[in-house]
Structure 1
């Protein structure tokens, strides 16, 4: 529920202008603007859970991990090639994350097929 505003002020009653964000005296964070939404928490916008650059909570969900555990694991896995969070897009490029896991489990190796005999180009 929004706090009442002081007459003639844009700051909610009980809030102090210039107070540190998150402190007891700061104005409440607008919906969709808090750190939880930027990091993909429970209030994340729906588009942050879809597409090529999902939020970290969605990456954790897709990999069957708890978000808190995933944060620690991601730091270690980045040292082994897990794509880092793109600073412009704000998420990991999902096809690259999938490619990382495919490489890690040997599913991305392209092997040349064996020779099956000599080619006869006059056959057609």
Structure 2
């Protein structure tokens, strides 16, 4: 059973956030956030949803993760095996 109240759980699951909430999560002031958000929107930063008037937080998170190099394709692909590994043991098969 969770120690969190239903109100806390609902807040943690908020999908659409205001720019003020987003600025607080990012640790920047609201004035600076407005400038940053406008600039990043040119690069694909999620705009405010026309119905909710807020930004979809999972999309914001995905954008920032990609920008920080944490996207799906950011990790190098594993190399194809070229044979059994020999970790310095000359007697390995």
Does the pair score TM above 0.5?
yes
Structure 2 counterpart of 1:69: 32
Computing the radius of gyration from Cα coordinates, the structure with the larger value is 1
Counterpart CA distance in 2 for 1:71 and 1:49 is: 23
1:87 to 33, 38, 50: 50
Structure 2 counterpart of 1:115: 80
Counterpart CA distance in 1 for 2:12 and 2:30 is: 13
Tell me the TM-score normalised to structure 2 length: 0.65
> Normalized per residue, which structure has more strand?
2
In structure 2, the gaps of 5 or more residues are 1-9, 84-93
Q: Deviations over 1:48-88 (max 9, x none)?
A: 89601011100000111101111111111101111000111
The Cα of 1:102 is off from its aligned counterpart by: 1.2
Q: Name the Cα RMSD after superposition.
A: 2.3
Q: After TM superposition, which residue ranges in structure 1, 4 or more long, deviate above 4 angstroms?
A: 47-50
Give the length in aligned residue pairs. 72
Counterpart CA distance in 2 for 1:116 and 1:64 is: 44
Tell me the TM-score normalised to structure 1 length: 0.50
